[in-house]
Amino acid sequence: MPSHTKAFTGKHMAAIFVAGFGIVIAVNLGMATMAVESFHGTVVDNSYVASQNYNGWLKQAAASKALGWQAVPHLRADGHVVIEALGVPAGARMTATAEHPLGLRDDAAFTFTDEGRGRWVSNETVAPGRWQLRIAIRAGDQAWAGEGEIR
């Protein structure tokens, strides 16, 4: 029985190379597109400006730590934010800003009502999702700043 095999030519090899590199390029383009479309936020708007503020942020963090205050945020089922605060003196004022980690939603500002015994409840509600909460507490000339996450 005679064998009818075709010879492997340079055209066959070129087609294999083109097909292989075509697959690699298509996968890379697909991955790059998904990466760009799925990241909707920035870490900082301007890294130079952020670098100029860095030492100030470190001083503020050290001053906050020295006060010994603590604030732990929780999200209630009705959308109000509850903050359990320890060591905060009576008469303090608390505010917060909720930022979506990837910038998908606008920031939300909060004011709080002191319910006593270290429990503060927001006057505003937050949309469902994951939020980074930047908390600011002022009592007289003392200021505390911290962060927490709510879901």
pLDDT at 40: 59
Q: Could you tell me which CATH class the domain 47-150 is placed in?
A: mainly beta
pLDDT at 2: 63
Strands across the sheet containing 80-86: 70-75, 80-86, 119-125, 108-116, 93-99, 131-139, 142-150
Residue 107, CA distances (Å) to 1, 41, 68, 80 in order: 79, 12, 28, 15
- Tens of pLDDT, residue by residue, the chain (151 residues): 666 788 999 999 999 999 999 999 999 999 999 988 776 556 677 889 889 999 998 999 999 999 999 999 999 999 999 999 999 998 999 999 998 876 667 888 999 999 989 999 999 999 888 888 999 999 999 999 999 999 8
pLDDT at 18: 97
